[in-house]
Chain A
Amino acid sequence: MSVANARRFAITGMGAVSAFGVGAAPLWQGLREGRSGIEPLRHAESSRLRVRIAAQVPESFDPAALFDERVLPMLDRTTQFALCAANEAIAQSGLDFAAEGLGSRTAVVIGTGVGGETTQDESSRRLYAENAQRLHPLTIARVMANAPASQISMAHGLRGPVFAVSSACASSNHAIAQAAMMIRAGVADVAVAGGAEACLSYGVLRAWEAMRVLADDTCRPFSANRRGVVLGEGAGIFVFESMERARARGATVLAELAGFGMSADAGDIVAPDPAGGGAAMALALADAGLRPEDVDYINAHGTGTPANDPAETRAIRQVFGAHADRLAVSSTKSMHGHALGAASALELVAVIGALRDGVVPPTANLDTPDPACDLDYVPNAPRAMPVRAALSNSFAFGGLNAVLALKQA
């Protein structure tokens, strides 16, 4: 059942892997209680690293127990997270891809910032530190950025358009927008989309250290004493279909993806431009047919860096005018960390939770008001309030902005 020109998209499945463990439910439960997944870094090279904290997937995540031993050698940690989250989302959707050729009408679009980084880093170590003469023969199959999308396609027989999207910290939102566009264009009936990242390799951690944007205490978005990013990892994957299709088959609709907006700053490679982020928000509202006053909640990009938080605040004020003071705005990165290419997928779990349960997750660790950040950031404690519609912001390095507009189902 193809619905070309679909304007409304149903989310009928979601899955996640995060610092709160395997599953979208534990992630949302943690966020709605304002609990932090940020802990001391567990890393083999931690004695050589300055970074001390991260929001890591817990040690209880056991790939050997989760994946067949014939499949496991093909899977970088990034793809392990993606497959795990996709399996959960697809099971929840209740879709049977083997029936009536649906697999051939299903797309997979998975965002990732750095792809199979754990494998890449280990390969480099073997080559340069150990002078190894050979690498594992599946190194390429594990490293390639499309591995998560391909493995999901293979595991579930999804034979439509399948590819990766990469836009650093906005990868998941760009992937989801791409999926929605394919459904809108009639190219696919169903799309499995989201993002995955496992970026806590020695090389990547050292590279982030060199940028001097990592916090050493915790992640404090919008707080005057914020000291930067706390890295995270994980995956969030969702099942999208046209609202008409979902209703016709009697599926449980978790939330409506009402629209999206994308823009580029075309300015600095790292410093955010409020005009660029604002343009993406305005485009998302227009695409969704929402007025500013229809929106109750914004899940902010909110990295906790000195640069992002005031710029994002100004962007929200530019777009929402007087209504900005009536918005609840929170950064859940204060709890699940910044999972880079998976960040906006983890944040979509938070937005769906807020829409369904009428609870806005807080911005944790916000204890010192900053005059340059003057919105209602729902500090430290969750807030029970009806959420009719919400935006989810992602503003990536490279000046790439992608914003989703969500509505109650």
Chain B
Amino acid sequence: MNAPQSDEAIRERLFAIVAKQAKIDPAVLRPEATLKDLGIASLEAIELIFDIEEDFDITFPDEHANFDTDTVQNLIDAVRAALQAKSGGSEATA
């Protein structure tokens, strides 16, 4: 259903979701920031994962979650992997 998305498109959508949860301007969000850096702890991180899953219509594997050390870039990678898995991409690792 969804056309394969460019890395830039994934990044832009994900930045918007993360920035909203962290209550910051997407423009100041850096890929290397961890969720902990952004003040997204515990239950908020679970909500963030849920928002991302809903927005992209994907399901992350349970073992993905490591909310203290995950960076925004990790999330981008996880979204890309989940989208590839969904579209049946053989290179998918999720």
Contacts of A212 in B (CB 8 A): 46, 49, 62, 65
Number of residues in B with C-beta < 8 Å to the partner?
Answer: 9
- Scan residues 236-284 of chain A and give those whose CB is less than 8 A from a CB of chain B: 268-271
- Scan residues 176-211 of chain A and give those whose CB is less than 8 A from a CB of chain B: 210-211
- Whether a CB of chain B sits under 8 angstroms from the CB of A135 is no
Q: How far is the CB of B45 from chain A (nearest CB, A)?
A: 9
- Whether a CB of chain B sits under 8 angstroms from the CB of A307 is yes
- Whether a CB of chain B sits under 8 angstroms from the CB of A50 is yes
* CA of A210 to CA of B49, assembled, Å: 10
Flag if A211 contacts B42 (CB, 8 Å).
Answer: no
Q: How far is the CB of A398 from chain B (nearest CB, A)?
A: 12
* CA of A210 to CA of B41, assembled, Å: 16
| Other-chain contact of B42, A50, A214, A307 (Cβ < 8 Å) | A307
Contacts of A294 in B (CB 8 A): none
Q: How far is the CB of B70 from chain A (nearest CB, A)?
A: 13
Flag if A271 contacts B42 (CB, 8 Å).
Answer: yes
Contacts of B41 in A (CB 8 A): 271
* CA of A165 to CA of B46, assembled, Å: 29
- Whether a CB of chain B sits under 8 angstroms from the CB of A216 is yes
Q: How far is the CB of A219 from chain B (nearest CB, A)?
A: 15
User: Most chain-A Cβ atoms within 10 A of its Cβ — which of B41, B49, B62?
Assistant: B62
Given A210-B50, A212-B49, the answer on whether A268 and B65 have CB atoms closer than 8 Å is no
| Other-chain contact of B43, A50, A216, A269 (Cβ < 8 Å) | A269
Q: How far is the CB of B90 from chain A (nearest CB, A)?
A: 23
Q: A268-B42, A270-B42, A271-B43 are in contact. List 9 more A-B contacts (CB 8 A).
A: A210-B46, A210-B50, A212-B49, A212-B65, A216-B62, A216-B63, A268-B43, A270-B43, A271-B42
Seen from chain B, the residues whose Cβ lies within 8 Å of a Cβ on chain A are 41-43, 46, 49-50, 62-63, 65
Seen from chain A, the residues whose Cβ lies within 8 Å of a Cβ on chain B are 50, 210-212, 214, 216, 268-271, 307
18 A–B pairs (Cβ distance < 8 Å), ordered by A: A50-B62, A210-B46, A210-B50, A211-B46, A212-B46, A212-B49, A212-B62, A212-B65, A216-B62, A216-B63, A268-B42, A268-B43, A269-B43, A270-B42, A270-B43, A271-B41, A271-B42, A307-B42
